Copies of this chain bind each other. A is one copy, B any other.
């Protein structure tokens, strides 16, 4: 186990009807709020009206910026930054999933900076200040509601890059599983894949003796797998939705990082896909993660066998752990397929003509991965394996 510092101060407010608390929580930090959201779904299902009522009750003013797209765009973020600067906004309330929250985080940083916010994504500046933000979560997936990171796509050149800072940690996150009953099954499945990927990125590590975080990670993965099945049978099953929602936060709040070094190559390799082709991040991960696993599993067959046994209930073949490892990867792929995720690029009509370009972009800042270090050529081979 390696040394670590862990602190996550986000206040999680979890359960039925909790959205009614948004006004009183916001009031602790701000008087004039930027309400940031995506498409119209928050209005369709009555959530918007509840939020407005709660803000009014708490005597909070607001301006609105909707229209966040999946893979949030820098252009809208720049609009949000201008609004914050010109309208004396002191708090950002993100109502949505990972894209909305990541967009809100970028606005929060840009609102306290004189230059162009993209400077932070290009590592030209370090984050030293940000507006406080709060979250009302609608899609369990990205874990951004209690994480320090944000991933944004630059409209020019389709570069997808990230920033991270303790200053980006939301002050509170309100999670009502009932809000997720109406999520389309494809979005539910992409969310399930994303949260699983967040755990798996951390699971495959070269740090030895990480028993506690291994066991916690395996427990979270098993919870997600069984409850995903329940949710696909019964979209209004509160308890199953609740398990998924809380697991998505735990998957990415830093707890499962403690004492270890994660890999994160698959996320970066996927970002090039969803940066160019605009497929759901989770769907891209369902394609890339199995390919990455097949490419690297021989680096530590025993860890992949442990994953197969402890997460996927594959019986250990003690005379051939590699077989066990591969059966685990296969069962994971079958699981992704069973919830309607693609597991090959051809299923989502992504041709191979840009593999080389994507591999180049993925290595823009250097090699990828910690479990196995990947060069441009390795990444091209992983795209090939995912064909």
Interface, chain A (partner B; CB < 8 A): 1-16, 18, 208-209, 211-212, 214-216, 218-220, 222-223, 226-227, 238-240, 242-243, 246-247, 250, 255, 258-259
Contact = CB atoms under 8 A, between A and B. Distances in A.
29 contacts: A1-B238, A1-B239, A1-B243, A3-B14, A3-B15, A3-B16, A3-B18, A5-B12, A5-B14, A6-B11, A6-B12, A6-B14, A14-B258, A14-B259, A209-B239, A209-B240, A209-B242, A211-B226, A212-B219, A212-B220, A214-B219, A215-B219, A216-B219, A216-B250, A218-B219, A242-B259, A246-B259, A250-B255, A255-B255
A204 to B, nearest CB: 18
A247 to B, nearest CB: 5
Contact of A12 (B7, B211, B214, B250): B7
Most buried by B among A16, A18, A239, A240: A239
Contact of A216 (B11, B209, B214, B216): B216
A16 B2 CA distance: 9
A343 B243 CA distance: 36
Contacts of A214: 219
Contacts of A255: 250, 255
Given A15-B2, A220-B215, A259-B246, A239 B208 contact: yes
A210 to B, nearest CB: 8
Contacts of A4: 12, 14-15
Contacts of A13: 5
Contacts of A14: 3-6, 258-259
